[in-house]
Amino acid sequence: MDRLRIVSPEDSRPRQLPTLGAVRVVGVAAVIAVGVVAGGFVLQWLGLPRAGRGDVVAARATVWLGRYRETSGNLLIGNRRVHATCVRGWIVDLSGRNRRGTLLRLATGGTIRDFPPHTLIVRRIPIRRPIALLQAAGCTKVLADRLATLSQFDGGVKATRIDMDGVPALVVRFPRLTLYVDRFTGKPIGVTNPWLRGNFRLIPILHRRGSP
Amino acid sequence: MTELAWGRERPFEWVRERGWILGWWVAGRLMVLLPAALVDLLGPRGYTGGEERSSIFGLLHSWDGRWYKTVAENGYLLEPGRQSDPAFFPLYPLLMRAGHALGLSYATAGVLIANIAFVVALFLFEALTRDLFDPASARRATALLAVWPLGFVFSMAYPESLVLALVTGAVLAARRDRWALAAALLAAATLARPEALFVTIPLAPAAWRRRSGAAIGALVAPLAALASFAVYLWLTTGQPFGWTHAEQAWGRRFQVLGLVHAVTDVPREFAGSAGIARDVASFVLYVALLVVAHRRGVPRGWVLAGAVVVVLPTFSGSFHSIGRFGLLAPAVFWGAALVVRRRWVYAVSAALLVAGVATLPLVFP
């Protein structure tokens, strides 16, 4: 049997726990931390604008373009409708060397080779704005770079619903470039600029035989 | 311990005693604003865009200033794998937006905020240095800060001057046992630049000795501020750590051997842009001044915080922008003030400051 312990009156008084002070310190620190999180968030939420819906749509289109290397579509040059294919990868330049770049081929036989940062070779295409042509044809890297810049620095634009040749689409109007994307997937399907119009589809490279 | 302006001294006496700080601020800023205007009129265009050429002080809101303006104007937009604006912290664009609401352009508001924050930073830095050392050292350190070679950044649409003001204010508040104020200022500073977090290193011993909830709260506040930014990015971009993703597109990714890569890549980087030489020289100078500061008795916490601010970014594998990052390491200026006794050093520093402005169209800070 356990022995009974004699408890003195002093011992029976409630003692202040030694951890109480620590709990209080931690509590106050936690209140400050929560206050900073909440206050900081509210400040940002109320003080900063939200990115425009059009900017977000363009940013998603940029992600889509980053996943593909090839596009096929039609360009409206003047009143002529021309089929175009565009591919990004290793392209043969004028000296016969393979370089990373973009190649646009028109059904008329004309080509544009773009080797960043400063080389652009235009063959048999009577146009003064070859970059606009590359964008309208949906050339993935050229268009993605342009959209990324526009959505960051010319942002604050809206996305509006339209019907594009029977396809439910969203249209985003930046200065000098209008982007059309599939309303359901967000994939880019067309571009217009002050000089050209184009619609295109992104082609998975694995479905192609060989390399261009 | 020296009292602050709003302490026991009368305002008139306080201003009379510290009027020289205003003098250094005016002189230093003239050395930035006049060359910036001259370069705009006569100098090379370099990489500056049309927007920067639209005003006489356009150079001062170029480079990162453009990104801060984007945040203020359009909010955050994360573009995966690309350079995008979540890499830029929210407090400074918030203030730019407030300035815009008062009728200023975003660019003007940014430059104005930076320059006003810098004069506040100079006063607070002088008070802190006086607190820690002596009036003569405070005078030298403050004067050097006003004409520091990379000090043109304090006049640009960048948050460095704001962060310096908030951080020095926070430490002064903590030294006067006003820990709740210190917590608020540190949180605000961290919402402007993440380096403010490292000020908790020198504050930690004092907070630990104090053992109050407010003191510990001040140490936690910068982390809480980062958390608030993460929550905001999560709700607006879908990525709580969007700022780290965005910074990776600039090559800011921690690598264990980053410093080694930074050193071995210097020749290659120099071939790409000679501007890297400025950052390498700044790195060497900052490290040397931190060693001096350590040997001359600057509190170890401050030296350690300075070392983290200067050395940590090099672990991304590059020396880019170290000259600018080091501006947020007060121990660097204390180290300089402890060894600089000659007046010609100020003249050399001022000349380098002017030269730095002239290179702005070509080299980012």
| Residue range B170-206, pLDDT digits in tens | 999 999 999 999 999 999 999 999 999 999 999 999 9
pLDDT grade for A18, boundaries at 50, 70 and 90: low
A35 contacts in B (CB within 8 Å)? 224
Mean pLDDT, rounded, of chain A: 89
Cβ separation B214–A40 shorter than 8 A:
no
Pick from B53, B45, B51, B46: which is nearest to B69 by CA? B51
Q: Do B93 and A48 touch (CB under 8 A)?
A: yes
The beta-carbon neighbor of A48 closest among B71, B82, B228 is: B71
- Residue-level pLDDT at A3: 47
Contact B331, B305 (CB under 8 A): yes
pLDDT score of A206: 62
B-chain residues near A155 (CB < 8 A): 70, 73-74, 77
Q: What mean pLDDT comes out for the span A154-172?
A: 93
CA B152-B156-B160 angle, to 5 degrees, is 85
pLDDT at B7: 53
Chain A contacts of B183, Cβ < 8 Å?
32, 36
Instruction: Give the distance from residue B300's alpha carbon to the nearest chain A alpha carbon, in angstroms.
Output: 25
Mean pLDDT of A142-171: 94
Are A27 and B66 a contacting pair at CB < 8 A?
Answer: no
Q: Please report which helix (H) or strand (E) contains residue B118, including its range.
A: helix B106-132
The answer to whether residue B236 scores a pLDDT higher than 80 is: yes
- Flag whether residue B209 sits within 8 Å of chain A, measured between CB atoms: no
The owner of tokens 């940062």 is A117
Alpha-carbon distance of A157 to A212, in angstroms, equals 37
pLDDT digits (tens, 9 = 90+) for A115-143: 988 889 999 888 889 999 999 999 999 99
Name the more confident of B8 and A94.
Answer: A94
The model's pLDDT over B147-165, given as tens digits with 9 standing for 90+, comes to 999 999 999 999 999 999 9
Q: What is the pLDDT of residue A1?
A: 40
Question: Which residue of A lies nearest to B235 if distances are taken between CA atoms?
Answer: A45
Flag if B214 and A44 touch (Cβ within 8 Å): no
Q: Do A31 and B213 touch (CB under 8 A)?
A: yes
Which pLDDT does position B2 carry in this prediction? 45
Is the per-residue pLDDT at B3 higher than 70?
A: no
Those residues of chain A whose CB sits closer than 8 Å to some CB in chain B are: 21, 24-29, 31-41, 43-45, 47-52, 55-56, 59, 62-63, 66, 148, 151-153, 155-156
Residue A212 confidence (pLDDT) above 50: no
What pLDDT score does A207 carry?
52
For chain B, the domains span 11-358
Q: How confident is the model at residue A191 (pLDDT cuts 50, 70, 90)?
A: very high
Partner-chain contact A34 B224, CB within 8 Å: yes
CA distance B321 to B280: 9
pTM value?
A: 0.91
Q: Is B49 helix (H, G, I), strand (E, B) or coil?
A: coil
Contact of A187 with A170, CB cutoff 8 Å: no
Among all chains, which residue has been given the structure tokens 């900063």? Answer: A48
Restricting to B residues 221-250, those with a Cβ less than 8 Å away from any Cβ of A are: 221, 223-225, 227-229, 231-232, 235-237
DSSP calls for A81-120: EEEEEEEEEEEE-TTS-EEEEEEEEETTS-EEEEETTTEE
- Express as a percent the part of chain B with pLDDT over 90: 84
- Whether the pLDDT of residue A153 is over 70: the answer is yes
Say whether pLDDT at B1 is over 70.
no
ipTM: 0.93
- Which residue ranges form the domains of chain A, and what is each CATH number? 53-207 (2.50.20)
Which own/partner pairs from B81-86 qualify as long-range (CB within 8 Å, at least 24 positions apart)?
B81/A63, B81/A66, B81/B249, B82/A62, B82/A148, B82/B249, B83/B246, B83/B249, B83/B250, B84/A148, B84/A152, B84/B246, B84/B249, B85/A152, B85/B246, B86/B233, B86/B237, B86/B239, B86/B242, B86/B243, B86/B245, B86/B246
Partners of B71 on chain A (C-beta within 8 Å) are 48
Least CB-CB distance to B183: which of A25, A32, A52?
A32
The stretch A75-100 carries a mean pLDDT of 91
Cβ-proximal residues to B206 (8 Å cutoff; 6+ apart), any chain: B174, B175, B215
* Mean pLDDT of chain B, nearest integer: 93
- Is B191 touching A (CB cutoff 8 A)? yes
- Residue B6, pLDDT above cutoff 60: no
pLDDT digits (tens, 9 = 90+) for B121-144: 999 999 999 999 999 999 999 999
Cα of A173 to nearest chain B Cα, Å: 15
Q: What's the confidence (pLDDT) of residue B14?
A: 77
Mean pLDDT for the stretch of residues B67-90:
96
